[in-house]
Chains A and B, each alone.
Chain A
Amino acid sequence: MLKASNIVKSFSGNEILRGISLEVERGELISIIGPSGCGKSTFLRCLNFLEHPDAGDVQVENVKLASHGAWRRADEAQAHRLRSHVGMVFQSFNLFPHRTVLENVMLAPMQVKGLEEGKAHKIACELLEKVGLSAVKGRYPDRLSGGQQQRAAIARALAMKPSVMLYDEPTSALDPELSEEVLSVMRALDAEGMTQLVVTHDMRFARAASDRVLFMEAGQIVESGDPDVIFANPREAGTRRFLRTLL
């Protein structure tokens, strides 16, 4: 349902992604791990064209967007179609601080999809219920704990009914207990069959919850496979080196 082919991206002459390809099955939970600067966040951001890749193409559901240097108006429209299938959650939450939690969740469905307020409200309440924030939905984001904010951000992304969710280090800014609140939401989504890609440093989560783990190094996917196999018995030297440093 998501297919990325040969994604290349450089920042001021530094090649950050060196031709990455990936195919994701519906319902999969994939963790992307690797040392800092290996390009895993950039790769994730290329999947919804938050970062425009220099080359390669991305297909989500039936929407395919190829990169060919210059960005054109037609590409913007196609990116818009593509993003309608993709939700994203950030390390720093990026909730809109001038709106309540409920408004954060209702905003895009109403403005982007043109949903009427009553309907958007109903969806938002259901989602906030699901991530355990019903009690605080009237609050402004800075009155929530980090874990609550991240769960609100997940609800906000889900409100657009994406078919795949991208998480860019969702728990890196959180204490372990607060992380657990977020990870359990992600596990619950997995159980419902949501397709999820997670860039993470949380190896326990990657190992326990993922269907598949990708290990990235220097702009390439070095190794991928069943988490138990990768963590217990990594094939590549780079993977072994990386996992050893974590212990």
Chain B
Amino acid sequence: MVRMKRVLLWAAGLMLWAGLLGGGSVAWADGAAATAGQPSVAGLHVPGARNEQDLPWASDGEANVPYVFHDPAHEGRMTGFEYDLMQALAPRLGRQGRFVQNGWDGLIPGLGRDLYALVIDGIEMTPEHKEAVLFSRPYYVTVDRIVLRKSETGLESVAALKGHVVGTIKSTAAERLLLDHDPANVRSYDEETNLFSDLKNGRLDAILIDEPIALYYCSDDLKLVGLPIGRVAYGIAFAKDNPGLRDAVDAALGALMSDGTLHQILARWNLWTPQMADYTGDHSVSSTQPTAWTGYRQTMERMSGSGLQAMVQRYSSFLPLIARGALMTLAVSALAMVLAVAFGLVLALARAYGLAPLRWVAGVYVEVVRGTPLLIQVLFIFYGLPAFGVKLSPFAAGVLALGLNYAAYEAENYRAGLLSVPRGQMEAAIALNMTHRQALRLVIVPQAFRTVVPVMTNDFIALLKDSSLVSVITLTELSQTYIRLSSTYYDYIGTGLLVALAYLLVGLPFVRLARMAEKRMGRVVSKGHH
């Protein structure tokens, strides 16, 4: 399939899934109760459904042309042949499809979390994948194709590719084929954009890839050559224990095939293949024009042009998306910062003045959190905690993960601040008959805070940037917006500058705020100047 980034994630998803089934049957009970109250048309169990009409389905709509992607002509609207398929399929189940964006790595774990009922994202029906999920019957059958630079000749079969550097996407049938054939010269990529730009700039001699991708990413300076190679089948993925929904979808798919709807959709995207004809037994010639295909090509030609008008049009269409991403980045960072500052102080006080067990716990917390990658913590909180019955929204999980992580750093920061307050301050407070707690609150902590603020400023700038990690749990913030836009339009520089500018604009208030706080507390020193 298309973008098999990390096989590991599948394994992780599987494990979490198993954990959920073992310990967290509550989630299922909820779903069952919901459907039991008012049985739906087919009595289906539809995880993540908001009501009886809802069919939430997930895909990674970032740069996933032509499967599910943001329509370049109308940013903010989704399109793609899988998108159209789902729009047609859901009504057959008596429901309305609702697209849920999730990063590729989170798609399968999300099934285990009941975030949505199914995943459709060009997932190849390989034996390894069948271990992790339940598959529908194939909804699309295609082949692999060789793509070359226009000037290249002769490399028109897998045999001819021997000795040449060939690129493909990780964990695909194409990759396995190449590895069997000439392992030393295979270059595997996470996603399509880099793959194709490396072919253009000469790092690769050829690409072997699923035909839909080959068609849609093949620009004027490239060409498709040779005969179709192999057979690739995509299936819709379900949670392992939901054969009911799978069967219903299979039936609906069958209907879409026999009444020609699927043929029509694929023809519109210029993706109907002889393999599909053989698979469905539908050998008719569709009168449907490839409108989606030509529309996409035209839009891309217009938008990715380098003329001033094209650029203005392109960048102004980005602005709402970038603004939305910036808002998300700001919201997550600001809330995480509040959490980090508050919880960090608690940790520092526990470490500096708590009883032995408390001191120990706080110490272990700080070391563990600082000693493990933030990415793992984010994934653990979002995908891991549900196994213990704690289900957080992506936003809450993002804020919590960032806040708890930075609290550990702030704790150490505070600790240094607390230690920097002279011992005489505590003695003077005690001699004035304050309790230990009063002394901390009124005398020690305010002074510690003052020395801590400059370091905090830096930490918050870092936090702002680290907030890009929450994109792995479906939050579309600035970095995610950048990846999506730049890889849709192959425009890394212009988009990069825009997003960098957005980061700066978001970061400036933080810096200002910190300076103000610093000044306010610094006033302690400077006030009283004549």
Contacts and interface: CB of A to CB of B under 8 A. Distances in A.
A108 interface: yes
23 contacts: A50-B427, A80-B433, A87-B431, A88-B431, A90-B431, A94-B422, A94-B427, A94-B428, A96-B442, A97-B447, A97-B524, A97-B525, A98-B447, A98-B521, A98-B524, A99-B524, A108-B433, A111-B442, A139-B528, A140-B524, A140-B527, A142-B525, A160-B433
Interface of A: 48, 50, 80, 83-84, 86-88, 90, 92, 94-100, 107-108, 111-112, 138-140, 142-143, 153, 156-157, 160
Interface string B428-455: 1111111100100011001100100000
Nearest to B425: A94
Interface string B508-530: 00000000000001001101110
Contact of A107 (B425, B442, B525): B442
Contacts of B373: none
B127 interface: no
Interface string B260-302: 0000000000000000000000000000000000000000000
A112 B433 contact: yes
A92 B424 contact: yes
Point out which of B427, B432, B528 has the most chain A C-beta atoms below 10 A from its C-beta. B432
Contact of A84 (B422, B424, B433, B528): B433
A108 B429 CA distance: 8
B420 to A, nearest CB: 12
A97 B525 CA distance: 8
Contacts of B424: 90, 92, 94
Given A50-B430, A98-B447, A108-B433, 11 more contacts: A83-B433, A84-B433, A92-B422, A96-B425, A96-B443, A96-B447, A98-B450, A111-B438, A156-B432, A157-B431, A160-B432
Contacts of A97: 447, 524-525
B524 to A, nearest CB: 5
Q: Closest 4 CB pairs between A and B?
A: A139-B528, A94-B428, A143-B528, A108-B432
Contacts of B430: 50, 83
A128 B9 CA distance: 70
A135 to B, nearest CB: 12
Interface string B88-102: 000000000000000
Interface string B448-469: 0010000000000000000000
A112 B434 CA distance: 6
Nearest to B447: A98
A26 to B, nearest CB: 21
Nearest to A87: B431
Contacts of A48: 431
B452 to A, nearest CB: 13
Interface string B200-220: 000000000000000000000
Contacts of B450: 98
Contacts of A86: 431
B529 A143 contact: yes
Nearest to A112: B433
Contacts of A83: 430-431, 433
B295 to A, nearest CB: 66
A80 B524 contact: no
Contacts of A84: 433
Instruction: Kindly name the residue among B425, B431, B524, B528 whose own CB sees the greatest number of chain A CB atoms within 10 A.
Output: B431
A94 B422 CA distance: 9
B422 to A, nearest CB: 8
A112 B425 contact: no
Nearest to A142: B525
Nearest to A138: B528
A90 B447 contact: no
- Counting chain B CB atoms within 10 Å of each CB, the highest count among A48, A87, A92, A97 belongs to A97
A80 B427 contact: no
A96 B521 contact: no
B435 A80 contact: yes
A156 B430 CA distance: 13
B76 to A, nearest CB: 50
B429 to A, nearest CB: 8
A80 B434 CA distance: 8
Nearest to B426: A94
A63 to B, nearest CB: 12
A138 B431 CA distance: 23
Contacts of A88: 428, 431
Contacts of B442: 96, 107, 111
A112 B432 contact: yes
Contacts of A139: 527-528
A140 B528 contact: yes
A50 B525 CA distance: 28
Contacts of B447: 96-98
